[in-house]
Amino acid sequence: MTVPPVPLRRQRGAALLTALITVTLVATLAAAALWRQWRATEVEAAERSRLQASLVLAGALDWSRLILAEDGRTGGADHLAEPWAVPLAEAKLTSFLAADKNVASDALEGLPDAFLSGSITDAQSRLNLSNLVDASGRPVLRAVAATRKLFDLLDLPPGQVDTLVQQMRRALLAGGGVTQAQSTTTGTDGTATAGSATASTPSETQASTASTDDAGASEGAPLMPQRVEQLGWLGLPADTVAAIAPYVTLLPASTPVNLNTASAEVIFAAVDQIDMAGARKLVEVRRRKFFSDLAEASQQLSSATDVQLTPGQVGISTSYFEVRGRLRMDRYWVEEASLLHRTGTTVSIIWRQRNAGVQPTGGSG
């Protein structure tokens, strides 16, 4: 049987359809290859910018450590008239390179526009919430009273202070900071100290009960926060954390408040029996001349005989500093915050935190 030939018009239609399909496939493959190449280029550029920003911010951090180390050579009081307290306003990065005589002007051509800013702040200019409990988990009554004054000043519920102390103790228990609960009494320095056992209870029963109490307190205990924004781990509401953030800090050790750098609100909370007027008076006086020792600050409070400055509670020098740096390139920015500890001329890094993002179109840098 003979198969009839296919009409010429139908053959041309099939050829045209095949050509269109081929062109579509080629265009799709070409677009996919172009997108992959563009994506690889963008990823490489982003990685290069990230590494460049990391190097610049690391250099800025080393610069801050050098400034603090040089300031530590002189010792004495730390105050807001020292070089470390002067913030760095946003400046073009090439202006720093142009000031270096070892960098030729030709090498600056073609570099991307990058802007650097930063600041060093006294971490002891705020209330240290780590003072609330000692290494054994016992509440430090002076620190608790100072925190209550701050909460009262900010119109925050006073019960949240009790929650904060209780949760910090639980976190310390869970971390192994307390091995045996003890009864507490108030010492002359305002610190809760261990009390003696009652005569009617055998010591073996006391130890067993204490271990049971500690074990129950550590169950489901929160993690001990390292930064203020992590205080929500201890049960504080977000609005409370935002309200106290300008006035509190969390440091690895118990520290006094530096009267030369603290705000009037912090001084009001940290010093027993002082009122807001007295705190503002201290701030106003130190603007003209910083306090070289606590005796000078005490003289300014001579009219208030019931106000006493306790060396362990307030001071005039600082060991902990916060360093913040920000690098902006076009619409992209990288920020880094660090906590530094200075002992003499040795400045060590406690922690570092980095954030990055993109500036919205039309927004200011």
State residue 309's pLDDT score.
84
Tokens of 75: 């010792």
Q: Which amino acid is at 148?
A: R
- What structural domains does the chain harbor? 49-124+319-358 (3.30.1300.30), 132-225 (no CATH)
Residue type, 364: S
Kindly give the parts of the chain with pLDDT less than 50.
Answer: 103-104, 106-108, 177-212, 363-365
- Which one, of 225, 128, 219, lies nearest residue 170 by Cα? 219
The pLDDT of residue 304 is 52
List, as one string, the DSSP characters of 299-312. HHTTT-TT----TT
- The CA distance from 126 to 249, in Å, is 6
Q: At what angle do helices 159-174 and 141-153 cross, to 10 degrees?
A: 140
What pLDDT digit, counting tens, does each position of 8-48 carry?
566 667 777 888 888 888 888 888 888 888 888 878 877 77
Instruction: Give the separation between CA 137 and CA 220, rounded to whole angstroms.
Output: 17
Tokens of 258: 């530096």
Share of the chain above pLDDT 70, in %: 77
What's phi and psi for 74, nearest 5 deg? -80, -25
Position 100 scores a pLDDT of 53
pLDDT at 202 (0 to 100): 37
Q: Which pLDDT does position 114 carry in this prediction? A: 83
3-class secondary structure, 308:
coil
